[in-house]
Amino acid sequence: MVIRRAVPVLLLAATVCVRATPAGNDGPSFPDIVEHFKYGSIGAEENSGVPSRIWRVLPTVCESSLPRRPGVGYERIGFISDGAGHGRPIGTSFRPGNGDRIGLNCATCHVGTLRDAPDAPRRVIVGMPANQMDLQGYGRFLTACAQSPAFETGRLIDAIHKADPGFGFFSRLGYRLFVVGATRKGILDRARDNAWFDDRPAFGPGRVDTFNPYKVLLQVPLDKTVGTVDLPSIWNQRPRQGLWLHWDGNNDRVEERNKSAAIGAGATPKSLDLASMARIEQWLLDFPAPKYPAERIDASRAENGRRAYASACASCHDLGAASVGQVTPIEKVGTDSGRLDSFTPALATAMNTIGRGRPWAFSHFRKTQGYANMPLDGLWLRAPYLHNGSVPDLRSLLFPEERPATFFRAYDVYDWDRVGFVSRGAGAEREGVPFDTSLRGNANTGHIYGADLPTADKLALLEYLKTL
């Protein structure tokens, strides 16, 4: 199978050539591993990066195209700013030379935020799902901006010069003659490649259609399936080695999963920064999940819940159990089949052609008939629940009759009683994004394990799940 061309999976971005590195940019690598994870490169800039100078001014030039969400600039799409002094948000990388482009990296999808209460400071938590990030919204912003009259050469050059007075005559000339037009063309070309997104429900924050974009990339016939899933956590990777990974258990090699995710973020087999990714992979092997605050756990009730967990959950989810990391048939688990249906046998075959001729070539992708049983470490930070993020909190998971038909995602205030993020009420309505379980791929049915327990046992189980 020949890759048709490098279509970025998680964004619509431009590939252009620019000279003269803007002031204040870092390189593609950092000595500190956490900073490297948040700001270092995985090799996505060459194929899917946007020229740094243009990228930085787009939220100003095209402010009206940004989503109506809280924050400033790219924060309104879900990017996180932590004041680290890099001049760009977490989840973005910069690679100087050959265009000085901004790309995406692992942290785009695997760093989230949490507030203890509406008026509490926002905490940035590395390794949890990016509950704020709207990847499709990012692509749509770039497209809307490129289509807008605001994306005009003179206006962009003026905005760049205002932000960087060192933007000299020859750089301005290069932008006027080539860079702006090439950037617009690159964005719009990729928008056409990804027009099929518009026939499906929007991802929304914290979710992405993982594998349907590969059908375009690998020239596999595109169907009508909806494969949108929640972004996962990525801590404690050592115990996951050899387990069947991805939501449907389609690969049991951590390294293949990681490289496929990097290609999804805009890298190509040729541009992958293997050394950078190896550093991150090694660090994540033993990177621990954050613990639920001990003072918020009723220890006695949690101990009672341990017995309920042993009878209702442990055989599938405990590390070392026979079924952990194995696939439960869809007929048994009963959850929405969209993600499972989207990964076809033809796509599995095509995925195993990626990297052919390279030492790391893919060879372990397979088609399954269900969803994989995942370890539950750091479960409290992985809300909303089920593979498609259709259940807002753990209480709703254990009490299926309480699962709401609609709720709000991306409101990062934590609900310590229900164990998940606040998904209803004035704050969630004001800052969140609506989620409708009646849409294709969004069903909140299934996984009713433990639901038949007495109420007292379910409440004890809920308390125990906080400890994982």
315: domain CATH number is 1.10.760
Work out how many domains the chain is built from and give that number.
2
Share of the chain above pLDDT 70, in %: 94
Final residue of a structural domain among 285, 316, 338: 285
pLDDT of amino acid 348: 98
Q: Are residues 79 and 192 in the same domain?
A: yes
- For the whole prediction, is pTM greater than 0.85? yes
| Same domain, yes or no: 333 and 277 | no
273 and 312 both lie in a single domain: no
Contact 272, 42 (CB under 8 A): yes
Q: What is the pLDDT of residue 97?
A: 76
Pair (175, 210) in one structural domain: yes
* 7-16, 67-76, 258-267, 307-316: least confident range: 7-16
418, 380 contact by CB (below 8 A): no
| Count of C-beta atoms within a 10 Å radius of residue 242 | 10
155 belongs to a structural domain? yes
pLDDT above 50 for 336: yes
233-288: per-residue pLDDT in tens? 999 999 999 999 999 999 999 999 999 999 999 999 999 999 999 999 999 999 99
Q: Does one domain contain both 227 and 331?
A: no
**Listed residues 263, 285, 307: the one ending a domain:** 285
Considering the domain architecture, whether residues 315 and 403 belong to the same structural domain is answered as yes
Interval 47-61 mean pLDDT: 95
Asked, for residue 40, whether it belongs to a domain, the answer is yes
Query: Domain ends where: 285, 318, 333?
Result: 285
Q: Report the pLDDT value the prediction gives residue 304, as an integer from 0 to 100.
A: 97
In whole angstroms, what is the distance from residue 358 CA to residue 351 CA? 14
Q: How confident is the model over 14-36, as pLDDT tens digits?
A: 333 333 344 334 558 899 999 99
**Would residue 292 count as lying in a domain?**
no
280 in the same domain as 351: no
Burial of 391 (0-12, 13-18, 19+ CB in 10 A): buried
- Residue 252 inside a domain? The answer is yes
Q: Which residue range forms the structural domain that includes residue 137?
A: 33-285
Rounded Cα gap, residues 107 and 128, in angstroms? 9
CA 28/CA 47 separation, integer angstroms: 15
Nearest residue to 468 (alpha-carbon basis) of 252, 310, 328: 310
Are residues 392 and 355 part of one domain? yes
Residue 6 has pLDDT above 80, yes or no: no
Asked if the model's pLDDT at residue 11 lies above 90, the reply is no
DSSP 292: P
**According to the model, what pLDDT value does residue 411 have?**
98
Same-domain pairing of 338 and 427: yes
Residue 17 lies in a domain: no
Whether residue 293 lies inside any domain: the answer is: no
Confidence band for 207, pLDDT divided at 50, 70 and 90: very high
Q: Nearest 5 degrees, angle CA 92-CA 10-CA 350? A: 130
Whether residue 99 is found in the same domain as residue 241:
yes
Identify the weakest region by mean pLDDT among 170-174, 280-284, 462-466: 170-174
Q: In this structure, are 237 and 369 located in the same domain?
A: no
Report d(CA 86, CA 159) in Å as an integer. Answer: 20
Do the beta carbons of residue 442 and residue 336 sit within 8 Å? yes
CB atoms within 10 A of CB 149: 6
At 20 the pLDDT is 37
Do residues 58 and 155 share a domain? yes
Closest CA to 205 of 281, 136, 266: 136
Looking up tokens 């952990």 gives: 324
The answer on pLDDT for 122 being more than 60 is: yes
12 found inside a domain: no
What is the reported pLDDT for 119? Answer: 97
Residue 208 lies in a domain: yes
